[in-house]
């Protein structure tokens, strides 16, 4: 799939004149949500959470928490989120995999702001559970078609000049369950195999230069030290371009789940190639045809043949609010929020529709807009009138690639694929305010 239909011209949101949010109208709409049993509840909408408040804690009273000394410093030497946020966790789908060791859980995208994923909420994908690597015993071996085979310790790797870069990682299977129709009711499950963090480590190029790659070399085999010994072939060009061997994420050392003490970062490429607990890099002149690039991580096409080595993640986006986890609690102004990303560079534009694609509106992109990174977008100024609405977002990256509808994707790829589903997602807002995963095209 390259380009699909050209993006519609950006325009301003057409707000029906009766709903035009004049200043006083907007204030009224916001205030309606403040009442315990206001107009929203009368219309059958979900009760606004404000209705649950204890009046004793509300102004002009002095709230309970203002009357006592709080816990001192060091009660939590490693800080945790507020206990009121305890539902914001990674979640898994128990029928999806036979065992938790070879399984996946999902990032709670609906609960996150900006473009950085907190370390504790980065989705996990393991083929053989989390390896507990002892840092003193850790070694990275580089061998094969090199002048000097080398073995690095963890400390050796930290002595090289470091660099820090933000990148998204998306599992090629993200959205894989949605190929034949809308299935999972939650953005955490339909799109949550993606995270975006700031990595710190060494350019892979630096290590390869240290070993001296022989002129005829074209490929690397990168292998993990977990019980799955997961391995993939990586083209040398990519390795020398922007790959990194990293020890930190978001400023602290890698989490065990993310490959402590060392993982490979392969910007823009499918998550499977980002080998965790990296133990070995072999330099060679051909691809290894490993299990993960022949049996798995290939795309079965309509003619029965399979696409291989489909590494780059195509441009994609999704609305993270409203979504099934975040229903519309009241009519009136709603900020539509979402994320967009592309494995080919920067996000150039995101369009949003509230009427299933009849009219598209250009979203506001939030800085920083970095290559191969999540980009936050917003559509301000939409007012929900209580009627069914069909929300979609469509990403366009700096190469001009336009995120396709599922019908366009299926026209090329058929319905037997699992991987690389970057189709446009539709959320239907029901008159009750609940949000459902539906398929329009
Ligand atoms: N590396 C090793 N050694 N073992 C694995 O099971 N899973 C891969 C990749 N690297 C895996 C691995 C897959 S399929 C994905 S999508 C990413 O790691 C997931 O990275 P995360 O767990 O940090 O989200
Ligand atoms: Co994966």
* Span from the CA of 36 to the centroid of ligand 1 (angstroms): 47
Of ligand 1's listed atoms, the one at least distance from the Cα of 292 is 14
Are the C-beta atoms of 121 and 197 separated by less than 8 Å? no
Cα–Cα dist 348/340, whole Å: 10
Determine whether the shortest distance from the Cβ of 280 to ligand 1 is under 6 A. Answer: no
**Cβ of residue 274 lying under 6 Å from some atom of ligand 1:** yes
**Ligand 1 lined by 230 (C-beta under 6 Å):** yes
Instruction: Confirm or reject: Cβ of 323 under 6 Å from ligand 1.
Output: no
* 3-class secondary-structure state, position 111: helix
Q: What is the CA(43)–ligand 1 centre distance, in A?
A: 47
* CA of 264, closest atom in ligand 1: 10
Q: Give the model's pLDDT for residue 51.
A: 72
| pLDDT for 8 | 39
Distance 145 CA to ligand 2 centre (A): 28
CA distance from start to end of the chain = 16
Burial (0-12, 13-18, 19+ Cβ within 10 Å), 366: middle
Report whether residue 173 contacts ligand 1, using a CB cutoff of 6 Å.
no
Q: How far is the CA of 276 from the centre of ligand 1 (A)?
A: 6
Residue with tokens 């499918």: 270
Burial per residue of 342-358, b for 16 or more beta-carbon CB atoms within 10 angstroms, e otherwise: bbbbbbbbbbbbbebbe
Q: Is 277 in the pocket of ligand 1 (CB under 6 A)?
A: yes
For residue 33, the CA-to-ligand 2 centroid distance in Å is 42
To test ligand 1's pocket by mutation, which of 90, 102, 109, 125 has the most ligand atoms within 8 angstroms of CB?
125
Q: Within 10 A of 180 (CB to CB), how many other CB atoms are there?
A: 12
- Contacts of the segment 155-158: beta carbons below 8 A, 24+ positions apart: 157/201, 157/202, 157/207, 157/245, 157/247, 157/262, 158/247
Q: How much is the pLDDT for 441? A: 77
CB 406 within 8 A of CB 4: no
User: Residue 126: CB within 6 Å of ligand 1?
Assistant: yes
- Global pTM value: 0.89
Could you identify the atom of ligand 1 that is nearest to the CA of residue 131?
Answer: 3
Report the C-alpha gap between 377 and 418 in whole angstroms. 27
pLDDT tens over the chain, length 441 residues: 333 343 333 333 332 232 333 333 333 332 233 233 333 333 456 555 667 899 999 999 999 999 999 999 999 999 999 999 999 999 999 888 999 999 999 999 999 999 999 999 999 999 999 999 999 999 999 999 999 999 999 999 999 999 999 999 999 999 999 999 999 999 999 999 999 999 999 999 999 999 999 999 999 999 999 999 999 999 999 999 999 999 999 999 999 999 999 999 999 999 999 999 999 999 999 999 999 999 999 999 999 999 999 999 999 999 999 999 999 999 999 999 999 999 999 999 999 999 999 999 999 999 999 999 999 999 999 999 999 999 999 999 999 999 999 999 999 999 998 999 999 999 999 999 999 999 997
Is 223 touching ligand 1 by the criterion CB < 6 Å? no
Q: How far apart are CA 310 and CA 297, in angstroms?
A: 8
Ligand 1 atom 17: residue of nearest CA:
271
Residues 6+ apart with CB under 8 A from 134: none
Do β-strands 375-384 and 364-365 pair in parallel, antiparallel, or remain unpaired?
antiparallel
**Does the beta carbon of 122 sit less than 6 angstroms from any atom of ligand 1?**
yes
Token look-up 């029965």 returns: 304
Give 300 Cα–ligand 1 centroid separation in angstroms.
Answer: 22
Ligand 2 centroid to Cα of residue 273, in Å, is 8
Per DSSP, which regions of 5-153 are E strands? 103-104, 125-126, 139-144, 150-153
Q: Is the peptide bond before 60 cis (omega within 30 degrees of 0)?
A: yes
State if residue 224 touches ligand 1 by the CB under 6 angstroms criterion. Answer: yes
Which residues lie closer than 8 Å to 20 by C-beta, 6 or more apart?
none
Q: Whose CA is nearest to atom 9 of ligand 1?
A: 272
Which ligand lies nearest the alpha carbon of 420? 2
Instruction: List the residue whose alpha carbon is closest to atom 22 of ligand 1.
Output: 124
């Amino acid at each position: 799939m390259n380009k699909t239909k050209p993006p519609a011209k950006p325009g301003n949101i057409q707000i029906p004149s009766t709903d035009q949010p004049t200043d006083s109208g907007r204030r009224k709409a916001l205030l309606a949500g403040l009442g315990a049993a206001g107009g929203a509840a009368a219309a059958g909408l979900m009760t606004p959470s404000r209705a649950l408040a204890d009046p004793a804690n509300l102004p002009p009273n002095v709230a309970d928490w203002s009357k006592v000394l709080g816990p001192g410093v060091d009660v939590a030497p490693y800080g945790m989120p507020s206990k009121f946020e305890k539902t914001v966790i990674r979640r898994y789908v128990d029928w999806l995999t036979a065992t938790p060791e070879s399984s996946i859980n999902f990032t709670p995208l609906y609960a996150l702001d900006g473009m950085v994923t907190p370390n504790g909420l980065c989705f996990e994908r393991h083929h053989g559970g989390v390896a507990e690597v002892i840092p003193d015993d850790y070694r990275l071996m580089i061998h094969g078609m090199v002048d000097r085979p080398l073995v690095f310790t963890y400390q050796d790797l930290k002595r090289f000049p470091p660099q820090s870069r933000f990148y998204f990682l998306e599992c090629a299977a993200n959205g894989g369950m949605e190929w034949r129709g809308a299935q999972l009711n939650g953005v955490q499950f339909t799109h949550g195999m993606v995270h975006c963090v700031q990595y710190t480590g060494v350019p892979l190029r630096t290590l390869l230069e240290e070993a001296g790659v022989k002129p005829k070399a074209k490929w690397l085999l990168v292998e993990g030290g977990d019980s799955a010994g997961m391995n993939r072939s990586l083209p040398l060009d990519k390795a020398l371009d922007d790959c990194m061997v990293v020890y930190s994420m978001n400023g602290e050392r890698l989490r065990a789940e993310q490959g402590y003490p060392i993982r490979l970062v392969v910007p823009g490429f499918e998550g499977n190639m980002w080998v965790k607990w990296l133990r070995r890099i072999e330099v060679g002149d051909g691809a290894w045809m490993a299990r993960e690039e022949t049996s798995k991580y290939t795309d079965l096409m309509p003619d029965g043949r399979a696409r291989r080595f489909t590494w780059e993640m195509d441009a994609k986006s999704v609305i993270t609010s409203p979504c099934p986890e975040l229903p519309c609690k009241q009519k009136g102004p709603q900020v539509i929020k979402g994320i967009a990303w592309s494995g080919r560079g920067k996000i150039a534009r995101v369009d949003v529709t509230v009427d299933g694609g009849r009219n598209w509106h250009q979203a506001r992109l939030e800085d920083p807009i970095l290559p191969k990174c999540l980009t936050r977008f917003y559509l301000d100024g939409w007012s929900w009138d209580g009627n069914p609405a069909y929300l979609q977002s469509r990403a366009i990256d700096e190469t001009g690639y336009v995120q396709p509808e599922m019908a366009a994707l299926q026209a090329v790829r058929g319905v037997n694929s699992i991987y690389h589903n970057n189709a446009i997602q539709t959320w239907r807002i029901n008159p009750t305010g609940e949000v459902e995963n539906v398929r329009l095209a």
